[in-house]
Chains A and B, each alone.
Chain A
Amino acid sequence: MTTIAASGLSVATPRVVVVPAVRVSAPVRLNYPWKLGSMNRMVVVVKATSEGGISDKVEKSIQEAKETCADDPVSGECVAAWDEVEELSAAASHARDKKKAGVSDPLEEYCSDNPETDECRTYDN
């Protein structure tokens, strides 16, 4: 069963990001639609890239903060709402930096952690 977070997919190329619960097996799991009827039913959660998700959160939180503060600019709610905006903006900028820093190819990531596995062995000689 595939669930697609449609609202977050504002990016032109939606990327399938599989979030494995435990990082022990191979990082990429494929969803074979023709196997859906059989016993091995895998759940693949398709999310927009984390950057898209956070950006939406930031936008939403700004809207909320504006609404909350429209009633009372000095109340605790207003302050807490803007604090949330700040926190999410910081998280968004970190995500952007991380993305810029290194485009994480899941295989590269996996191999840097586990160079001895079959997928990652390199034969130089």
Chain B
Amino acid sequence: MAVSTIYSTQALNSTHFLTSSSSSKQVFLYRRQPQTNRRFNTLITCSQETIVIGLAADSGCGKSTFMRRLTSVFGGAAKPPKGGNPDSNTLISDTTTVICLDDYHSLDRYGRKEQKVTALDPRANDFDLMYEQVKALKSGVAVEKPIYNHVTGLLDAPELIQPPKILVIEGLHPMFDERVRDLLDFSIYLDISNEVKFAWKIQRDMAERGHSLESIKASIEARKPDFDAFIDPQKQYADAVIEVLPTQLIPDDNEGKVLRVRLIMKEGVKYFSPVYLFDEGSTISWIPCGRKLTCSYPGIKFNYEPDSYFDHEVSVLEMDGQFDRLDELIYVESHLSNLSTKFYGEVTQQMLKHADFPGSNNGTGLFQTIVGLKIRDLYEQLIANKATARAEAKA
């Protein structure tokens, strides 16, 4: 890294040096330790562009499929921090850091049992700390973030999180607190309908000893009031909502294997241009299977229309059905517009890269990948914008 100028500031302790490199806009702070030769470098990146993405989801944290797809779009595999707590919920890749908001629980599992609150309840979460730390990371300052251990249910010792280029906060309440909401550059809400949630939980938990259909149902029912009161209202603030519903192609389907997925995109969001089918702002119903493309049962059906969602103008792209062949995927991709791909077939390539992930053959995987590309596009636009603003300021 080229160091262009060296300043020694009077304001700081005389053992501190300040070097700055104008090309990369990073400040290295060196403190000379008289005893040891170790240099403490505190990297303060003044104008590091950190964008913050919020993802509201009811499932666990950080290990979810959406996160893995998202980090994969940016390149690099996301892994838990090396050498740290093995039960850490954080995922770090070259460009992205995913933070689990469960780490901001103010009450651990025993505390919640005592106070008789669920994890969904805002009383169990420390929003002040969440706001402070997200703000710090956004401005380029590293933080010591607590760890909530899902295995033991206790709050472990904090871990150091360096400010990344892209910070994703995933959990139950990313958009709950207004201050945190204002820090988000883009927000996504994953809305799973009750029937699909039930079907998925059955698949997940039936293998577990002790669980029965009744216990799974009881567990969902018990959490519903808190969920509807605290989590669901966050939908209205999201820039993109991915709704997962049971399919309409198979009558009386209750397996939850074929899904109808709707991508609800808010209009007028800065740097975010919604995906559309054929003609922006019109209403289109499209079944790609026909003469050029043969699909197996139940086939694929697309819908695109403008709509109103919680008093916002939105565009809704909907996919019902499943892909079972590569050419179906590429056919569909070639007909969608405004995907923010860098080359033809990028969506297909991303989907194939993770063909083993759940949802890779239906709208969930498709829309998650598309949202990932949209976020990448947003990030690049933001960077370009800041760069031009800086250039203009200099001139």
Contact = CB atoms under 8 A, between A and B. Distances in A.
Interface of A: 23, 50, 53-55, 58-60, 62-63, 65-66, 69, 75-87, 89-98, 113
A34 B83 CA distance: 32
B210 interface: yes
A89 B201 CA distance: 9
Interface stretch (B111-119, B254-262, B367-375): B111-119
B215 A81 contact: no
A89 B109 CA distance: 14
Interface stretch (B220-228, B233-241, B295-303, B326-334): B220-228
Given A91-B60, A94-B60, A80 B117 contact: yes
Given A59-B210, A66-B215, 18 more contacts: A65-B219, A69-B222, A76-B115, A79-B225, A80-B112, A83-B118, A83-B120, A83-B219, A84-B113, A85-B215, A86-B223, A89-B204, A90-B60, A90-B150, A91-B150, A92-B208, A93-B204, A94-B60
A84 B117 CA distance: 10
Nearest to B356: A101
Contacts of A95: 151
B342 interface: no
A82 B219 contact: yes
A80 B274 CA distance: 40
Interface string B150-172: 11010000000000000000000
Given A55-B208, A55-B209, A113-B83, A83 B223 contact: yes
Contact of B219 (A59, A86, A113): A86
A86 B211 CA distance: 11
A37 B210 CA distance: 43
Contacts of A83: 112, 118-120, 219, 222-223, 226
A69 B208 contact: no
Nearest to A24: B83
28 contacts: A53-B151, A55-B210, A58-B210, A59-B208, A59-B209, A59-B210, A62-B211, A63-B210, A65-B215, A76-B117, A77-B113, A79-B225, A80-B112, A80-B113, A83-B112, A83-B118, A84-B109, A84-B113, A85-B215, A87-B109, A89-B201, A89-B208, A89-B219, A90-B60, A91-B150, A93-B208, A98-B63, A113-B82
A71 B215 CA distance: 16
Nearest to A55: B209
B285 to A, nearest CB: 37
A66 B151 CA distance: 21
Interface string B65-98: 0000000000000000011000000000000000
B253 interface: no
Given A50-B151, A55-B209, A94-B60, A78 B215 contact: no
The 4 closest A-B pairs by CB, nearest first: A76-B116, A59-B210, A82-B222, A83-B118
B199 interface: no
A63 B222 CA distance: 15
Contacts of A23: 83
Contacts of A76: 115-117
Given A23-B83, A63-B210, A82 B63 contact: no
A98 to B, nearest CB: 8
A108 to B, nearest CB: 14
Given A58-B211, A93-B205, A94-B63, A79 B223 contact: yes
A92 B215 CA distance: 16
B59 interface: yes
A93 B205 CA distance: 8
B218 interface: yes
Contacts of B120: 83
A81 to B, nearest CB: 7
B117 A85 contact: no
A90 B60 CA distance: 6
